[in-house]
């Protein structure tokens, strides 16, 4: 299997939605996703990376990296990782690790000095994977916005 890492494009929206359904409750509205994807692509501090199986053309995983400022110590930026998902048939095949290597390569080029990860509390299998990558669980919080 030959996995290629690249930035997501508008053409990826249907396949990206299939990947995102691994971690969501249902499909996204492509009319809402398209302008968000454009906004992410224009922001040099955001990177929506996708994993594509070069042998089949299948988009099989993705994650979103966001660099933000840190006002402590030497004021180097921090990497936030969110929306990590890999299709079930590609899990345990190195796709997740490759996604993290790619976003960490990008973040190091931006001088990030550490990384934090957001993951749903119920994703216990994913949490085992994150621990294997060296992440430590600290706390989990969820805030409900008015109207939900």
The predicted-structure confidence for 112-141, as pLDDT tens digits, reads as follows: 988 888 776 667 677 787 788 787 776 654
What's the token pair of residue 66?
Answer: 């966001």
Least confident of 2-16, 53-67, 72-86, 120-134: 120-134
Q: What token pair was written down for 120?
A: 């749903």
- For the record, the structure tokens of 35 come out as 């302008």
Taking phi over 0 as left and psi of -120 to 50 as alpha, with beta for the rest, 17 belongs to alpha
From CA 144, how far away is CA 148, in angstroms rounded? 7
The CATH number given to whatever domain includes residue 91 is: 3.40.630.30
Give the domain extent around 96.
3-132
pLDDT confidence of residue 65:
96
Q: Examine residue 57 and state whether it is found in any structural domain, yes or no.
A: yes
Cα–Cα separations (whole angstroms), residue 52 to 60, 62, 95, 123, 129: 6, 9, 9, 23, 20
Residue 90 forms part of a structural domain: yes
Query: Angle 13-20/30-42 helices, nearest 10 degrees?
Result: 100
Domain count along the chain? 1
| Mean pLDDT for the chain overall | 89
Which pTM value belongs to this model? 0.88
Structural domain contains residue 142: no
């Amino acid at each position: 299997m030959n996995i290629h890492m690249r930035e997501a494009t508008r053409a990826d929206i249907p396949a990206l939605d299939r990947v995102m359904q691994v971690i969501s409750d249902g499909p996204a509205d492509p009319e809402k996703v398209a302008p968000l994807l454009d906004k992410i692509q224009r922001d040099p501090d955001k990177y929506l990376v996708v994993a594509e199986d070069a042998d089949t053309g299948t988009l099989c995983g993705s994650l979103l990296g966001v660099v933000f400022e840190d006002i402590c110590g030497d004021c180097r930026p921090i990497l936030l990782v969110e929306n990590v998902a890999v299709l079930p048939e590609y899990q345990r095949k190195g796709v997740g690790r490759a996604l993290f290597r790619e976003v960490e390569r990008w973040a190091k080029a931006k001088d990030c000095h550490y990384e934090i990860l957001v993951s749903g509390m119920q994703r216990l299998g994913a949490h085992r994977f994150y621990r294997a990558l060296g992440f430590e669980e600290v706390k989990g919080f969820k805030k409900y916005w008015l109207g939900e």
